[in-house]
Structure 1
Amino acid sequence: MRRIYILLFLLFSISAFSQKDIQFTNTPLSEVLIELEAIYAVKFSYNSTFVEQKQVNLQLEKASLSEILKRLEQELNVVFDKIDERYYILKVKKELTICGYLKDGLDNTSIDGATISNSAQTKGSISDTNGYFSLKNISLSDTLLISFLGYKTLSIPASRFKEEHCETYVLSASSYLLNEVVVQEYLASGILKTQDGSIKINPKNLDILSGLSEPDILQNIQLLPGIESPTETASGLYIRGGSPDQNLILWDGIKMYNSDHFFGMISAFNPYITSDVKVSRSGTKAEYGDRVSGVIDIKTDNTIPSKTEGGFGLNMTHADAYLKIPLSEKVGVLVSGRRSITDIIQTPVFNNLSEQVFQNSSITENQNFFDPEFSESDELFNFHDVTLKLIANLSEKDRLVISNLITKNKLDYTFQDTQFDISSSDKLDIKNFGTNLTWNRNWNDRFSSKAQFYYSDYDFNYLGDNIFSTESVVTAKTNSIKELGASLLTDWKLNEHLTLSNGYQFFSNQVAYLLQYDDFIQNDDQTSPTHALYSQLNFNKPKQWYIDLGLRGSYYSGQNAVFLEPRIYAERILSDNFRLKASGEIKNQAISQIIEFTTQDFGLENQVWALSSEADIPILKSGQFSAGLLYSNNGWNLDIDGYYKSIDGLTSITRGFESAEDNLSEGTSTSTGIDFLLKKKFNNYSTWIGYTYSTTNFLFDDLNQGNSFRGNNDITHSLTWSHAYKWKGFQFSLGWKYRSGIPFSQASGFVDNEDETFIEYEEINAETLPAYHRADFSALYKFQLSKKPNSPVGKFGFSLLNVYGRRNQLSKNFGLFNVTDENNDTTVELGQIDRFSLRTTPNFVFRLEF
């Protein structure tokens, strides 16, 4: 027992001796070190010149030697390097300025918004759009932590960084992200294949694609198998047999009823502020409703920048600029604008696009019919879009986002012939305004919610007069949609594998249109509130199963109708490289476009939005089933997907068939097909082939003797072969597109008598146009304006559409024309109206981003 008391006494004595009250006031460091050597029986080695320059002010109670040395390191910017229990070396603490670039480990894209923090300090930095970051006053003994949502946190000792040299650091996706993304580079960098069957496009990280000198959201989508634009427009997208008005297009949660500029040639959405575009061809989630075909969900940037960022650019049709401005650490603003330059300068690109757009319209006919010596015209055309977005992180759990979008297209055309003293005019305005407020809250690690309120306002106005009328005949067309919507969505993670999503959606459409020509007037004005409830269960067991099982119920109060829409998407993971997939879905749609013929002499925009009604426009109903496989390994990607889609509730006024039968008829469409994609990447070179075989058939009881016939845009074969190559700061892309010709109805003659005049047709859509094919080329050079880190980045781009100049025939129609002979006798003749593709069209772009 005595020995134990002695041992405890010795331990207490050592402890009491090792902890001492310390007080130094303006004491030279050399004297402090001598005193510490005496108290703690240690020895310090140091440079005497350096030590003489340092003064110590330190007060500590019952401090150990390690606590004292740590405080001295912090106060004097020095380092005590411990050799053993007795000897220490005192060194000057070197401070570094470090920098670097962050890349995604799978697709090598830049990571924007990652947090870089010093574990020894409270300050940090955030990577910019190029993945660049920098930190000052870093000690060699510090450790840097790099973190970003969905990626594994990277811990790097400061000693690994090289001063004045910015290395690239790679972040690996966390297991959650790896489960979500199946193929990181589906067609090119910036195009991802996700596990729920959709395709995600990130325009910011997108490689250059053939025919495009810069990203165009709706043009990029057309490269996916199963998506066609027979009219060569950006907005005329037919997804697996569905027409463009059957696609749901969302911009930050706002339904879009006009998605283009320049009569469809350019997307109305600025790609430089877009974070990602989600495209679903089938197997859509239950939260998406009121459309029976594909889904295009566009989301703009939601990050709050650490400093002001921006960019501007100019091509041969328009100019654009954007700014991302941090108002504080928790609030940021995003603003952008694009405007056409066509009313300032008419470039070769504008002339080619105008020729393609205005062919067979009153504008072109006037120029061809009248003598240019005695006629003159004035054409004012422009378009613009503006976005304004506020992002506020209200707390660690709450985020508020307010998004606004305005798009406008304007045409003011006048024509006058002095020889015959006649004139005409065409005035067209298309406006779309949308605003959305979204509140996201993460209640805890397992439960989150999203509340949205949005308003969308679409206005279409056309006013024109007929140059050939003896009296003033005014043609007018208006179409407006005012939509107010709200929704509440929740996600509840039940366990490691199960997530339950529930939601309520409300939207009210007020849809009106007016068609007026001479004594003919047709108008409609309806309001139809819609309520929808949905529930979706997601089962995700990594490397085995991924299943989305959903049910959506919608009540269309305008038609007093209730519809249930079951949805399922399933994927069986057989190995790391091989997967099987299948989907099924039922959808309904209460608003669609109808064909109107009163403004055909203008030749543009002859469709109007209308609500379903019991009288003549039924609610559209569709069912789609698909199954396929996916293989990915060693740079090879193979994706095969077969599908079947049927749509009920089509009418002859919504599809606009060329037929002598003018009675209203209701029918169905059936589309079957297989989409095939094969891609291989070899280092800096990649090539891919996309092929679709499909058929679309219509069946109307009152048309074509009750026999089925080919759909208006039935394309049996479609093939795309693309190549991409990167070399230093250059990117090159070459692509070739081939597709079967679309069908048309051949005219056999016409009837002209006192009672009526009409064209007689043979079997509907029994003839086929010649095959379509063209080659496109693009090149891009990216460079930094200086060697300084974070310097502005410049881009030069060039594209060439239709390299070998083939004039593809896009459509063939027929019309009746008054022909005056040399005796001034007027007769009616049957004429052919052909529409051709775009000529060889070069484009240039210059951009600067900072």
Structure 2
Amino acid sequence: MLKCYLFFCLFSLMSLVGLTQDYAEIRITEKLEQQQLTEVLQLLGEKYNLKFAYDNSTLSDQEINLSLTNEKLNNALTKILEGTGLEFTVLQSTIIIKAKASGEIESMSPTRFNFPLNGLIIDKQTGESLPNSIIKIEGVLYGTVSNTDGYFTLLNVPSDTCTIVFSYLGYKTLRLKLDPFSETQNLQIELISAPEMLNEVMILDQAFRTVKSGNEPGQVALNPTQLSSLPSLGELDLLKTLQLLPGISGTNESSAGLFVRGGTPDQNLILFDGFTIYYLDHFFGIFSAFNANAVKDLQLYKTAFPAKYGERVSSVVDITGKSGNMNKPSFGMGLNLLSANFTLEVPIKNKVSFLLAARRSYTDVVQSPLYNSLFDNISGENEKVELPIGGSRRFINKEIDPNFYYFDINGKITYKPSEKDILSFSYYQGRDKLKTNYNVGEILDPDISFGFDYSENDASEWGTEGFSLRWGRQWNKKFYSNINLGKSEYISEFERNRNLRVYLDEESQITNTTFTEENDVKDFMLRWDNEWNFHPNSKLEFGLLFNENDILYKVTSTDFELANLSDKGKQKSIYFQNTSRLFKKLSLSLGLRINDFSLTEQYYFQPRGSLTYNIGKNISLKAGAGKYYQFINRVISESLFSSSRDFWVLTDGENFPVISGNHFLAGFAYETSDFLFDIEAYWKSTDGLLENLRLTEPFFEIPGPTEAFFTGDGVARGIDFFLQKKTGKHTGWIGYSLARVDHNFPQLNNGNDFPALHDQRHELKIVNMYGIKKWDFSLTWVYGSGRPYTSPSAIYDLNLLGGAQKPFLYVGVKNNTRLPDYHRLDFSATYNYNIGKVGKGQVGLALINLYDRDNIKFRQIQGISLGDNSPDGQRLIVADVKLLGFTPNVFLNFKF
């Protein structure tokens, strides 16, 4: 392990070592005819292994016509740049191209003052609009953000000689220098994405960051395309990447669900193109349900989110799907040891774009060593189990025959009938299907042919299907509207058939039982969102939402119905949020959301607010607060004998209380062009928590829900630290969280507080990304202190009628013990290459848990020793269900 830590430290310091190359001996022989200067630099970079750096805006567009024969590099570059107004210099191993110094400084007197500037921001390569782009006036602290469709309005531009700065996460920053003749209305701003830049060229003025703090306190933006080099078991996993940020649990590797600042996954609002996603996992949480190839933008609100969002009490993940290439058709494919994927983008007459992205595992056809490792991690390996019972030794041969696969599909059609309108239809479906056959045989006495055969056949299916139909319109430079109609449905179906045959010689007795569990969540929504820039220093957002949920939860065992919960609830909401800039340095946002819920027949008022104060150019203070309500609840059913099961129910204010939360946030940020240091402290209270406990269920009984529902509340508080290096060959971040989550249920633990199951006091994450020529290397390390669990305090023998005895577990203090600390080191190497002039490709290797750490998922009671011949008396047989050990994966991607 020590060697792995040393390797990790050395990798983190690689950026401090500059590469050197002796260019003096290089000779150039080329015949250049009618070639653009950028093409010439690309040719030289590839053929002669040169590295160039330049600001794209300074390059001349003129053609180069030149013949070079055995020219020294310096002479060749001088001839190439002659007449272009450019010159070069060599810094270490990089050739820097820049504009020649001039003694004249062009100056023009402004003619327009305090005027508006508006337009649309798009991707230059694909023509896709870029939501949440940042637009600022250079030298001024304030600015604005583009809306969902990429439109922006920057009011009160001081003069027509200002420089306007346009930036979007993962794209090259564009600086637009205005002059008295510049157009200021209906601009079309084209930004260049990092993947479209030449692999051999480093842009001096780059802003290709992968993660960025948003404009609101607690907000984070993520760029999917720039994270593909991070270690993963398959394709880029967006939600797993979010788990590398402070404030979000990164040790929960067996679930794609997000534990955000003390909240649980069901308390997060997950939106994809406007409709709600209720389940985020593929393969029991090994992967998330989102295909990164279909995602354009992701905004995360960790705490104190604005009034635009409701119906959850912890956080918001707002995902915008790709619209598809508007300029030319494109096609991509990918393959790894578990699954394959493809993406198709087709434009139609520059007004319509079509995108289709799909993934499917082939684990039901080919079971690779990686799949076997993952499945064994979930279900337990095929093994011979020895259980000491009553002092004797019995041998049970257990075989598991799994059949499993998952798939998801994204489709989107976007139509732009005019410069002001965008219509889109987005569809998503994700499914997991698993069938397992368990066969157990035991010979109790071979001399008399006495024994039993036991088998279980399990079938599970779960997933989400949804769609949205949206119309966005920029009515004028100040007013924008967005109408969204959406529907989604989550299903979870489980069926277990058990067959037991007890035989003695030629006679046998057969018993068959069936256990089924079904959970169905339907969600219908209609929302209307508006943005009105009614004043140069103020923006008003307001809207309406109608939402209907229909939920069914049903459990049966053979001929008995154990549970049947069915309900339908309607919700109407209205919200207002005003954001104003005061005294140039202070930005204040105040909002109110009002909900009317049919099952409780009550109104719920939710005030929200946040502020940001810029002390100087690089330093800002921030704070936020808000009230939140949630009307749907995922109940965790905890058991000592298996992993926790869960199901969704609709709150009714009586049996299932409405969940409410209060958020408070304060922070500090220091940001330069190269680094960001951010600290946020938070306090969150949550009322109406619900648990369904089966801690004392008898061993070997069929696990099913009971009436043991308990309600309580919780408090989460903590502080998150985030240090990010944004530019250069070596980028990445360090995140640390100090947190505490306590719950209180009056009927549990004698009414005393106890740590929540997801309470984790310390968590440290270090992310390194290093790019050199066509290679991208990544190294991540995650550490978390142990999580709590409930360990039984004692075992008693209950005397039954007839003199028989039955062991009984006594559970004392809830979550009274903690698992060992968690830590894991992951590594990946990616090689990027060009496929002629028409495509790009990637091939790579990922190594998960590099030093093979035995991290524990949960502790499971497998049996009770009666201890007839044991000096220790009765004792528990406890198994540590472990997470992934050392796991390698390879992948191949290409796109045309």
Q: Normalising by the residue count of structure 2, what TM-score does the alignment of the two structures yield? A: 0.71
Kindly indicate whether the alpha-carbon contact (under 8 Å) linking 1:397 and 1:442 is maintained by their aligned counterparts in 2: yes
Which runs of structure 2 are paired with 1:203-352 in the superposition (5 Å)? Answer: 203-206=224-227, 208-211=229-232, 214-352=235-373
Q: 1:294 deviation in Å?
A: 1.1
CA displacement at 1:780 relative to structure 2: 1.1
1:763 is matched with which residue: 809, 813, 816? Answer: 813
Deviations 1:463-513 (A, max 9, x none): 002356862111100000111110111111111111111100011000001
From the superposition, tell whether residues 415 and 437 of structure 1 become closer, same or farther in structure 2 (CA, over 3 Å).
same
Offset of residue 593 of structure 1:
1.1
Alpha-carbon spacing, 1:542–1:434, altered in 2? closer, same or farther (3 Å)? farther
Counterpart pick for 2:524 among 475, 478, 484: 484
Closer, same or farther: CA 818–461 of 1 in aligned 2, 3 Å: farther
From 781, 800, 819, give the equivalent of 2:831: 781
3-state secondary structure, aligned to 1:472: strand
Query: SS of the counterpart of 1:355?
Result: helix
* 756-765 vs 587-596, greater mean Cα deviation: 756-765
Contact 2:234 2:337 in 1 (8 A): no
Partner SS state of residue 478, structure 1:
strand
> Are the counterparts in 1 of residues 867 and 875 from structure 2 also a CA contact under 8 Å?
no
Give the direction of change, closer, same or farther, for the CA distance of 1:372–1:127 in structure 2 (3 Å limit). farther
**AA aligned opposite 2:830:** L
Provide the rounded CA distance (Å) in 2 between the counterparts of 1:333 and 1:396.
18
Indicate whether 1:647 and 2:686 are aligned.
yes
**2: CA distance, partners of 1:436 / 1:785:** 36
Which residue in 2 is equivalent to 1:172?
Answer: 175
Distance 1:335 1:368 in 2: 51
Indicate how the Cα distance of structure 1 residues 619 and 657 shifts in structure 2: closer, same or farther if over 3 A, else same: farther
Q: Is contact 1:674–1:693 with CA below 8 Å preserved after alignment?
A: yes
Distance 1:151 1:534, change over 3 A: closer
Deviation, 1:267, is 1.0
Tell me if 1:456 matches 2:488.
yes
Instruction: Report the residue type matching 1:442 in the other structure.
Output: Q
Evaluate the alpha carbon distance shift between residue 747 and residue 696 of structure 1 in structure 2; reply closer, same or farther with a 3 A threshold: same
Q: Specify which structure has the bigger relative contact order, considering alpha-carbon pairs within 8 angstroms and separated by 6 or more residues.
A: 2
Alignment-derived partner of residue 80 in structure 2: none
Amino acid at match of 1:577: N
Are residue 202 (structure 1) and residue 205 (structure 2) matched? no
Match of 2:624 in 1: 583
- Taking the aligned partners of 2:851 and 2:696, their CA distance within structure 1 comes to 33
Question: Do 1:227 and 1:237's aligned partners in 2 also have CA atoms closer than 8 Å?
Answer: yes
Corresponding residue number in structure 2 for 1:806: 853
1:728 equivalent in structure 2:
773
Give the direction of change, closer, same or farther, for the CA distance of 1:726–1:371 in structure 2 (3 Å limit).
farther
Output aligned runs, 1:32-111, within 5 Å.
none
Return the offset for 1:830: 3.1
Number of the residue aligned with 1:394 = 417
Q: For residue 449 of structure 1, report the CA deviation from its aligned partner.
A: 0.5
Residue aligned with 1:652, SS: strand
Q: Which amino acid aligns with 1:484?
A: F
- 1:597 Cα offset (Å): 6.9
Tell me whether 1:772 sits opposite 2:838 in the alignment. Answer: no
Whether contact under 8 Å (1:679, 1:687) holds in the other structure is: yes
- Give the aligned partner of residue 545 of structure 2: 505
Report Cα offsets for 1:138-185 as digits up to 9, x if no partner: xxxxxxxxxx97799xxxxxxxxxxxxxxx9973379999xxx9xx99
**Distance verdict in 2 for CA 1:388–1:687, change over 3 Å:** closer
Preserved CA contact (<8 Å) 1:218 1:234: no
Q: Which residue of 1 aligns with 2:572?
A: 531
**Residue 440 (str. 1) matches residue 472 (str. 2):** yes
User: Which string of whole-angstrom CA distances, capped at 9 and with x for unpartnered residues, describes residues 410-461 of structure 1?
Assistant: 0111234577343210000113110100000111111111101011111111
Is 1:560 aligned to 2:601, yes or no? yes
Show the counterpart of 1:550: 591
The count of aligned residue pairs is 692
Tell me what 2:408 maps to: 385
> How far is 1:813 from its partner?
4.2
The superposition leaves residues 392-427 of structure 1 with CA deviations (integer Å, 9 ceiling, x where unpaired) of 002221110100001110011123457734321000
Contact kept, 8 Å, 1:213 with 1:798, in 2: the verdict is no
Specify the SS of the correspondent of 1:218. Answer: helix
Q: Distance in 2 between matches of 1:295 and 1:330?
A: 32
Alignment pair present for 1:408 and 2:448: no
User: Among residues 880, 892, 896, which one is paired with 1:834 in the alignment?
Assistant: 880
Matched, 1:595 2:592: no
Conserved 8 A contact 1:186-1:193: no
Question: Deviation of residue 210 (structure 1)?
Answer: 4.4
Question: Residue deviations 1:226-264, cap 9 Å, x none?
Answer: 000543134232100001111111111110111111011
Distance of aligned partners of 1:440 and 1:680 in 2 relative to their CA distance in 1, 3 Å threshold: closer
- What amino acid is the match of 2:553? Y
Aligned 8 A contact 2:383 2:398 in 1: no
Q: 1:384, CA displacement in angstroms?
A: 0.3
| Larger radius of gyration between Structure 1 and Structure 2 | 1
- Per the TM alignment, residue 540 of structure 1 is displaced from its structure 2 partner at its CA by 3.7
Q: Which runs of 5+ in 1 are unaligned?
A: 1-93, 103-107, 117-124, 132-147, 153-167
| TM-score, scaled relative to structure 1 | 0.75
**1:106-158 deviation line (CA, Å, top 9, x unaligned):** xx9999xxxx9xxxxxxxx9842599xxxxxxxxxxxxxxxx97799xxxxxx
- Aligned 8 A contact 2:251 2:783 in 1: no
Shift of 1:762: 2.8
Q: Distance in 2 between matches of 1:616 and 1:829?
A: 38
- The answer to which of 771-780 and 302-311 deviates more is 302-311
1:612 to 651, 654, 677: 651
1:680 to 718, 725, 730: 725
In the TM superposition, residue 520 of structure 1 has moved relative to its aligned partner by: 4.8
> Aligned equivalents of 2:334 and 2:55: distance in 1?
21
Residues 1:494 and 1:647: Cα distance change in structure 2 (over 3 Å): same
| Cα pair 1:744 1:766 within 8 Å, conserved | yes
Aligned to 1:290, what secondary structure does the other structure show? coil
AA paired with 2:270?
Answer: I
- Contact kept in structure 1, 2:385 and 2:397, CA below 8 Å: no
* Alignment of 1:190 onto 2:213: no
Asked whether the 8 Å contact 2:385–2:395 carries over to 1, the reply is: yes
- 2:877 corresponds to 1:844: no
CA shift in 2, pair 1:285/1:378, >3 Å: same
Q: In structure 2, the residue corresponding to 1:747 is in which secondary structure?
A: coil
Give me the whole-angstrom Cα distance separating, in 2, the residues matched to 1:194 and 1:331: 31
User: Which shows bigger deviation, 676-685 or 836-845?
Assistant: 676-685
After superposition, the Cα gap between the structure-2 partners of 1:109 and 1:170, relative to the gap in structure 1 and judged at 3 Å, is farther
Could you tell me which residue of structure 1 aligns to residue 135 of structure 2? none
What is the Cα deviation at residue 652 of structure 1? 3.0
CA shift digits 1:496-537 (9 cap, x unpaired): 111111100011000001012243521111000100000010
Tell me if the contact between 2:127 and 2:325 (Cα under 8 Å) persists in the aligned partners: no
- SS of the equivalent of 2:793 reads strand
| Inter-partner Cα distance in structure 1 for 2:844 and 2:234 | 5
The answer to which of 439-448 and 718-727 deviates more is 718-727
Identical amino acids, percent of aligned pairs: 29
What is the Cα-based RMSD across aligned positions, in Å?
Answer: 3.8
Please point out which of 122, 125, 129 is paired with 1:128. 125
CA shift for structure 1 position 554: 0.6
> Partners of 1:663 and 1:186 in 2: how far apart?
57
How far apart, in 2, do the equivalents of 1:348 and 1:749 lie? 41
What code does the residue aligned with 1:672 have? R
Change (3 A) 1:634 1:810: same
Q: CA deviation at 1:586?
A: 1.1
State the Cα distance separating 1:379 from its structure 2 match. 1.9
